[in-house]
Amino acid sequence: MFDGFKANIKKVNSPELEDNLQFGVNRLGEVSQKQLDDGRIKRTAFAKHLGLTYRRVEISTESAQSFQTYNTLFGSFHKASNNDLHNYDTFTKDRFEKVVNSSETWLGLPASEIEIKKLEIGYNIRVGQNANTIIDLIKSFEFGRSRTFSLQSYSNGGKQVLFNRSQVSFKVYAKGCQYKNQFNTPSDLIRFEARFEDPRILKKLGVVFLSDLHKPEVQENLHNQFVEYFSKLVFYKASTGPLTPKADLQREQLENRDFYQGFEGRSNRRREALEKIPKFGCATVEVLKQRILARINSEYFKFRQEDVPAKPQPVEKEAKKTRFNTHSPTKALTTPKNKPLKRLSSKGFSDSSCCPTRART
């Protein structure tokens, strides 16, 4: 769940760390110094612990008699639990707490004094088919409201799609390809990741200090927000079957990610596209999206080290006996409106290439 982060620290309280951060002495970390354009001196020191990086920046005052100090801590909680080697496995709260406890000892201060400024939440899941195939289905985030998007292909054969907004970014990439050479990870391993860029958003979700991430209610807030972001991803694959030339053009337009980028401030166009997707797209793609979400929820409960709660079954209401009601009072009428939905299993993913043939429009 928790992964990359950046935090501010007022002051560390570790004599050992202080000794190794003496400027001009390159021991645990590298020390650099330079003169700024206004003549002031800026010097920087780094130290590492479990792959997390502590950075101290000191900038001299105009009189050069003293320095202003800025302390930050950044890295990946998940990688730190694996000695900075990888973050492709399932992360649990016990492992997260061990990283936090070790960092508290190293810095000589409690997590309640480490102020979180940026935070990543991510889940690795297996989807039963090549992760790049899933990435190709993702066309947009919040129907073009993302300021920018990028699609990248890497030398390892993996793809990544990234959507940026001012306060959050959402990234999907082929995790199995990333670590294939090192750890022989499977090609169907994919990662969904949200990055909170604005501390004001984190504060609304209950996150101010590192210690807040221990709270179950905060973990639930963050996961629910992640699910909301995931729901804004637009999955689409054009259906097969004959259409009129105009409808066929509209169907193919929805395959192009650039088509969605012109929707900023144009709610009508966004609404029209929303209506066209179920009309021209494969119905199985939405089923696939819901099964991915089921896997994401399963990973969340693995992080919490809790069993996935059973979905409550609908309770049949006893029908009232009237002179117009001749059916059995022990069974409620079942209509398309109140028919119980079939629960989607997180096991076994449908092949997204299987699309029903749609009638000519």
The answer to which of 17-31, 37-51, 120-134 has the lowest mean pLDDT is 17-31
What's the confidence (pLDDT) of residue 68? 85
pLDDT per residue as tens digits for the range 289-325: 999 999 999 999 999 987 666 666 665 555 444 443 4
> Would you state the pLDDT for residue 218?
97
Report residue 188 as tokens: 């169907």
Q: Which amino acid is at 304?
A: R
DSSP-based helix, strand, coil % in the chain, nearest 5: 35, 25, 40
Among 62-66, 170-174, 228-232, 337-341, the minimum mean pLDDT is found in: 337-341
**What angle in degrees, to the nearest 10, is found between the helix axes of 216-231 and 283-304?**
170
What torsion, rounded to 10 degrees, do the Cα atoms 183, 184, 185, 187 define?
150
| Per-residue 3-state assignment (H helix, E strand, C coil) for 165-229 | CCCEEEEEECHHHHCHHHHCCCCCEEEEEEEECCHHHHHHCCCCEHHHHHCHHHHHHHHHHHHHH
pLDDT at position 20 is 63
The 10 Å CB-count burial string (b at 16+, else e) for 190-202 is bbbbbbbbebeeb
Q: Would the pLDDT of 199 be above 50?
A: yes
Per-residue confidence (pLDDT) for residue 209, from 0 to 100: 97
Tell me the average pLDDT across 60-76: 83
Contact 8, 72 (CB under 8 A): yes
Residues paired with 317 in a beta bridge: none
Pick from 123-127, 268-272, 329-333 the range whose average pLDDT is largest: 123-127
| DSSP of 287-334 | HHHHHHHHHHHHHHHHHHT-PPPPPPPPPPPPPPP-TT--S-TTS---
CB-CB contact of 208 with 119 (8 Å): no
Distance from C-alpha of 339 to C-alpha of 322, rounded to nearest angstrom = 23
DSSP character string of 271-285:
HHHHHHHHHHB-HHH
> What pLDDT score was predicted for residue 322?
42
Query: Following CA atoms 164, 165, 166, 168 in sequence, which dihedral angle do they give, to the nearest 10 degrees?
Result: -80
The structural domains of the chain, with segments of one domain joined by +, span 110-308+343-361
Classify residue 336 by its DSSP letter: T
- Residue 117: per-residue pLDDT: 96
Mean pLDDT over residues 59-87, rounded? 88
| Residue appearing with tokens 């066929």 | 248
pTM attached to this predicted model: 0.79
Alpha carbon distance 251, 237 (integer Å): 9
Tokens of 283: 């119905």
Instruction: Kindly report the backbone phi and psi dihedral angles of residue 311, in degrees, each rounded to the nearest multiple of 5, phi listed first.
Output: -75, 125
